[in-house]
Structure 1
């Protein structure tokens, strides 16, 4: 099997009273994440805003070279700064899931 990379998917649950500052997320949070994780094999990311009837409001889909690269990124002490930035744009705690990409089209 060829290496199709791995992904971190960050899901923000839709909750009553939940806030999400998309402008801050685009302008500040994602550049912080990119600057922190590029050295650990982060290749790209996509931000998805879901329809109002979805159980999640937002998602970040972050592409890495491999699961091992994700593990190294999560171990980086600077990752704490990325995680500590969450309250600056959202009062909802995200759900993080990771996995290997088995097929790309």
Structure 2
């Protein structure tokens, strides 16, 4: 990643009684998002939570998806027209309400 790039992080809190299908998310949802957003996505990653800061504590997030864009303008131009279709796919893999953060890469 380069300084000044924009990172979209979508974090799924690890909550008892909630579902999250990591296989679907990694293989179907990420492919859908990549297809819809096209070349505006410079890089992507999926993280699986393994643990918290205390020994043997559960991960705060069951999964985190990250997308990297050249700029906020690039993010908005690609994401806004496709947001409805992307959000409509969420029930296929989770019933968790994600936490979203947009960040600028500074280092």
Same fold (TM over 0.5): yes
Choose the corresponding residue for 1:55, options 48, 60, 70. Answer: 60
| 3-state SS of 1:24 partner | helix
Aligned partners of 1:36 and 1:79 also within 8 Å: no
4+ residue stretches of structure 1 with deviation over 4 A? Answer: none
Report matched runs for 1:84-99 at 5 Å.
84-99=88-103
Deviations 1:41-75 (A, max 9, x none): 11111000011422111000111111111122232
TM-score (norm 2): 0.85
1:37-52 equivalences in 2 (<5 Å): 37-39=37-39, 41-52=40-51
Equivalent residues, number: 100
- SS of the aligned residue for 1:46 comes to strand
SS in 2 for 1:47: strand
My pick for the range that moved more, 78-87 or 2-11, is: 2-11
Equivalent-residue separation in structure 2 for 1:99 and 1:73 (angstroms): 17
- The answer to whether 1:69 aligns with 2:68 is no
Structure 1: give runs of 5+ residues left out of the alignment.
Answer: none
The Cα RMSD (Å) is: 1.5
SS at match of 2:38: helix
Structure 2 unaligned runs (5+)? 52-57
Cα distance in 1, alignment partners of residues 23 and 14 from structure 2:
18
